[in-house]
Structure 1
Amino acid sequence: MRMARATLSDVQLRDLDWLVSIGDHQHVSAAADALGVSQPTLSRALARCEAELGARLFDRVPDGVRPTPAGSLVLDGARDLTTRYARLVGSLARVVDPDTGLVRLAFLDSMATSLVPSLLRAFHAHAPQVRVELRQEPGHDIVRDFEQGGVDLAIVSDLPPGPYGWHLLQEERLVLVVPATHRWCGRTAVDVAELGGEELITTPPGFGSRRLVDGLLREAGVAPTISFESQDLATIEGLVAAGLGVGIVPEAFAGQSGTVGLRLDAAGARRLIGLTWRTDRELAPPAERFRAFVLRQAAGTPTRATPTRP
């Protein structure tokens, strides 16, 4: 006998679940009672499945039905599929449930010991069963993760190009850090134009902090020598402390390894840090709960700002 070629659109998961119930009860009427459907409805579903699969699945016997060899094969597959689907539904519920689900948060390395821990501590007290998956990476990697759907929200200094929302969380002053033996140590401020003769330690091209620094230098019309590049702002401060050059970093990093922080006389010597998310995609309930919580925590700050775009 030539078997019909069934597709998933023909045999539905509900049908498979009903077949399993018939196999478990070995009686159509008993299975119908357990499922809460009429016996004729279940009998029609069984007949439809047999027609679509091209095989008789049950033999009629005096006290009910028994699976045929083909029926035993179908029941084994049906049990596996319905079990896996139930497991999938349960796992999905745990991910999207606003009380127990998952939030995927990316953030800049420079936020790892300051803003992020305080936000997570507050959110954990608010929603202790929500899991937050963290990605600590540079801004251009965060943009890539957004494009690939790998993160829900991010804490960044650059507002990415495209459909992104933004909420300002904090504003940081940028300062010049110099070694403790530098000739400028007795000063409180430095004009950016004075950096032309200095060796500068900064982040590599493509990083948000590098764009900020390059913008300040370009505005002042100077091009200092780049002596070292590091992705980590704390490392930059440490290299400056070792006497290898000067650096422009957020004020919180000044003095960590013995450097001296000097105010920069430049209107743009600041870094805006904000929470961002895609506006062309709906956030999953746990991520939306995190976003709403952070916005409430930051109440009183502007919901839109003008951070640097790449």
Structure 2
Amino acid sequence: MNVGDLRWFVVLAETEHLTEAAAALGTSQPNLSRSLRRVEAAFGVRLFEREHRGLRLNPYGRIVLAAARASTVAVDTAQQQIDALLDPDSGTVRLAFLHSVATGIVPDLLTAFRAEAPSVNFGLREQPSHDIVHSLESGEAELAITGPRPDPAVFGWHLLQRQRLCLYVPPGHRLAGRHRVNLAEAAEEPFVGLRPDFGFRRVTDDLCRAAGFTPSVAFESTDLTTIDRLVGAGLGVAVLPGGAVRGTESGATPVPLEGIRARRDIGLTWRLTNNLSPAADRFRTFVRSLRQ
């Protein structure tokens, strides 16, 4: 028994006439009879009483009819949902991204893409970089905006932005007017940073370690805007990507860090062995077409 047998059973149960049902279904009476036998065999009972003028649904048949109607509706609904997801004009893009790009790159890309494809939906996941890799591996995300680049043997990559890292300092700070700053000059400063489970926190710690010190952390947050405002309030300094925080008037001043390590690459990535949905493939093509 399959879904097709249940669909035929519903028509037969509604007409209670083998000839009429076969004509409505565009099949032969023998085919319809064989389908009915499969349904009855699956449930182990007769579902109709045979009468001179046709068939009459019995109590068992009425139970199966209710279940068959519900089942076929559920299957049709699932197919409609899958078709919608597979539609490049109205499907859903499952996109993961770093917390530190949530206020810049991500809204910019989504705004630009939705001008071209306004009916495409996005299922967004804001995650640390290691969780993003897991989401791509499991299929929970099809695409991700992350950095640094994951294993090139496993993941495709399109560079979106090479970010200069900056030391954000309070208004009037002794380093505020500098064109560049060596991070070692902030060794005695209190730092405001992300929590240790965030990938960019490890970037900060690695830079400080390379500069010869371990930062004294005054406060840990999960939000870049909070960090920016706390720096502006004079709580400490912070290492952040230049331009990562928008729309605030905290007064915090970004000073670019010296050194080749004081940058990070942000890109769009995807698992090479996974087939993207049409909507996700359309988004990837769109992103690749943009000038960096």
Whether TM exceeds 0.5 here: the answer is yes
| Residue range with higher mean Cα deviation, 71-80 or 250-259 | 250-259
Residues 104-128 of structure 1: per-residue CA shift (max 9 Å, x gap): 2222333233222221122112222
What letter matches 1:221 in structure 2? Answer: G
Unaligned runs of 5+ in 1: 1-10, 302-310
Q: Which residue does 1:206 correspond to in 2?
A: 197
Pick closer, same or farther for the CA change 1:129–1:223 going to 2, 3 Å: same
How many residues are paired up?
289
Q: Which residue does 1:75 correspond to in 2?
A: 65
5 Å matches for 1:225-264?
Answer: 225-253=216-244, 256-264=249-257
Q: Which residue does 1:155 correspond to in 2?
A: 145
The answer to whether residue 102 in structure 2 is matched with residue 112 in structure 1 is yes
Deviation at 1:269, TM superposition (A): 0.8
The answer to whether residue 185 in structure 2 is matched with residue 194 in structure 1 is yes
SS state of the match for residue 274, structure 1?
A: strand
SS state of the match for residue 265, structure 1?
A: coil
SS state of the match for residue 166, structure 1?
A: strand
The 8 Å contact of residues 139 and 208 in structure 1, kept in 2 or not, is answered as yes
| Residue range with higher mean Cα deviation, 91-100 or 255-264 | 255-264
The 8 Å contact of residues 192 and 217 in structure 1, kept in 2 or not, is answered as yes
- Over the matched positions of the two proteins, sequence identity in percent amounts to 47
Cα distance in structure 2, aligned partners of 1:183 and 1:50 = 86
Residues 72-130 of structure 1: per-residue CA shift (max 9 Å, x gap): 22222212211221122112211222222111222233323322222112211222211
5 Å matches for 1:38-117?
Answer: 38-117=28-107
The 8 Å contact of residues 205 and 215 in structure 2, kept in 1 or not, is answered as no
Q: Which residue does 1:185 correspond to in 2?
A: 176
Deviation at 1:297, TM superposition (A): 2.2
Unaligned runs of 5+ in 2: none
Cα distance in structure 1, aligned partners of 2:244 and 2:289 = 28
SS state of the match for residue 190, structure 1?
A: coil
SS state of the match for residue 78, structure 1?
A: helix
Residues 129-151 of structure 1: per-residue CA shift (max 9 Å, x gap): 11112233443443444455432
The 8 Å contact of residues 100 and 244 in structure 2, kept in 1 or not, is answered as no
What letter matches 1:165 in structure 2? Answer: G
What letter matches 2:242 in structure 1? Answer: E
Q: Which residue does 1:218 correspond to in 2?
A: 209
The 8 Å contact of residues 5 and 38 in structure 2, kept in 1 or not, is answered as no
Q: 2:283 aligns with which of 290, 297, 301?
A: 290
Pick closer, same or farther for the CA change 1:52–1:252 going to 2, 3 Å: closer
* TM-score, normalised relative to structure 2: 0.89
Deviation at 1:173, TM superposition (A): 0.7
Cα distance in structure 2, aligned partners of 1:199 and 1:215 = 16
The answer to whether residue 161 in structure 2 is matched with residue 170 in structure 1 is yes
SS state of the match for residue 252, structure 1?
A: coil
Q: Which residue does 2:267 correspond to in 1?
A: 274
| Residue range with higher mean Cα deviation, 20-29 or 102-111 | 102-111
SS state of the match for residue 257, structure 2?
A: strand
Cα distance in structure 1, aligned partners of 2:37 and 2:125 = 52
Cα distance in structure 2, aligned partners of 1:285 and 1:145 = 19
* TM-score, normalised relative to structure 1: 0.84
5 Å matches for 1:9-28?
Answer: 11-28=1-18
